[in-house]
Amino acid sequence: MLNSDRKVTHSRPFLSYLATSFLGAFNDNFFKLLLMCFATTCLSETAQKNYIPLAGGVFVLPFLVCSGWAGYVSDRVTKRRVILWAKWLELVVMTLGFFCFAAGAIYWLLLVLFLMGAQSALYSPAKYGYLPETLPERELSSGNGMTQLCTFLAILAGTWAGGVLATKDGSHAWLGGVYCMVVAAAGVFVSYGCGKTREGDPEARFRMNPLGGHLETARLVCKNRTLVFSLLGNTYFWFVAALYQNNLPLLVKQELHFGNLELSWLLGAVGLGIGLGCATCGALSRGKIEFGLVLPGGFLMACSCLLGGVAGHSLAMWLCVSLSLGFFAGIYQIPLSTSFQKQSPASRRGSCLALGNAVDCISMLLAYIFQWILIRPLGFRPSNVYVAAGIVTLGVLFMMQRKVPTLGKRTKEILIGG
């Protein structure tokens, strides 16, 4: 047993878990950016316009197709064992990626990307289900904040490293494959330091049709209003995140007339903001799930989006918009994601988190459709897409307050020091 005075989030098993999460997120983003850059060097402009959007869909597809099975596995066996399996699978997939890079097999790399998405889909329910099974409730919010900070720092590092390697050694993509294998091997090594988790449920049912499993889990979730609120509120975070990321290249290239370097700075600013916001929310929660931070975080997130309408062509202003949007989005999200983890039935937690992954993917697809409608038929400028997102966010917050009046009450208590 750990000393009761020592925080579990400071223990070696939890630090091993954070390192495992960091290396996995780093590898995902390093590999994806390396693949995109490789495609721009060996494909024609016309082929690139087909390949790059296809690659994005190929990576997201496994989360829709495989998440139901991943939820079953996470319920049936221990979360720790699933984490170990996922890390070994990552090493196998990255080895296959190395051979495809070395052979210049650009289209076979799409298969590798699909397998990488499948590996991430398998890992995700165990990654987030691990927290409520190893952390006391008083540390759950701070543990989630640390996990999200670690994840988004890994996204930043992986994106930066992939861009640097592609710039310096664009003709030696196989070298990136070597680095991916090394990172995956390191992930396998540190994953064995993760702490033990509760035994799996031997009565968990496997369904060949993953959508059938999601429907059954959805019926279970709908019996708990807190779960429904947390699921829908959290998935809106991913709607805004996907809309921001997908719209940013258009903003940078077509409206601001900046280059790839400025694009990477803005992507980095929002990622850093989310990580810092998640960590700050964990600290402000003071050992509990603090729903009173949802409305303030969401309102300031909406204000950050609206600020995009007056940011003009100033890079400094857009860096402020990106950083503040990410920061307040992180504060908005942590109570919702933490609540969904905690409130999910222990025996079905993996399936519930897998359902959350599938709903998040649908939310991101809706964000892409929303963006297309604004840009193409309605003729919005990219900066005005963020203004529209801010208005929609205010509407979502209004509906939250209407459906869950206690949110406003708790927010007032926080503002007056309660």
pLDDT digits (tens, 9 = 90+) for 340-398: 888 888 777 878 888 888 888 888 888 888 888 888 788 888 899 999 999 999 999 99
Residue 124 shares a structural domain with residue 231? no
Confidence of residue 3 (pLDDT cuts 50, 70, 90): very low
Q: What is the DSSP letter of 222?
A: T
pLDDT the model gives residue 297: 93
Give the integer Cα–Cα distance in Å for 389 and 264: 22
Tell me whether residue 203 is in a domain: no
Confidence of residue 1 (pLDDT cuts 50, 70, 90): very low
pLDDT the model gives residue 91: 95
Least-confidence region, from 28-42, 229-243, 278-292: 28-42
Domain membership of residue 280 as a residue range: 216-418
Give the integer Cα–Cα distance in Å for 120 and 180: 15
Q: What is the mean pLDDT of residues 129-137?
A: 84
Tokens of 312: 């003009």
Tell me whether residue 113 is in a domain: yes
pLDDT of 65-113, one tens digit each?
A: 777 787 778 888 888 999 999 999 999 999 999 998 888 888 898 899 8
Confidence of residue 184 (pLDDT cuts 50, 70, 90): very high
Residue 118 has pLDDT above 60, yes or no: yes
pLDDT the model gives residue 258: 83
- Name the burial class of residue 144, with classes exposed (0-12), middle (13-18) and buried (19+) by CB atoms within 10 angstroms of its CB: buried
Task: Give, in order, the Cα–Cα distances in Å from 244 to each of 50, 240, 284, 329.
Answer: 21, 6, 26, 12
Give the integer Cα–Cα distance in Å for 66 and 260: 34
Residue 169 has pLDDT above 60, yes or no: no
Cβ contact 81:133 at 8 Å: no
Token pair 């990580």 is found at 275
The angle formed by the CA atoms of residues 131, 132 and 134, to the nearest 5 degrees, is 65
Residue 193 shares a structural domain with residue 151? yes
Q: What is the DSSP letter of 251?
A: I
Task: Give, in order, the Cα–Cα distances in Å from 189 to each of 9, 93, 129, 260.
Answer: 20, 16, 21, 35
pLDDT greater at residue 413 or residue 154: 154
Tell me whether residue 1 is in a domain: no
- Name the burial class of residue 271, with classes exposed (0-12), middle (13-18) and buried (19+) by CB atoms within 10 angstroms of its CB: buried
Residue 236 shares a structural domain with residue 177? no
0.85 exceeded by the pTM? no
Tell me whether residue 2 is in a domain: no
Q: Which of 132, 166, 198 is the last residue of a domain?
A: 198
pLDDT the model gives residue 2: 41
Tell me the average pLDDT of the chain.
83
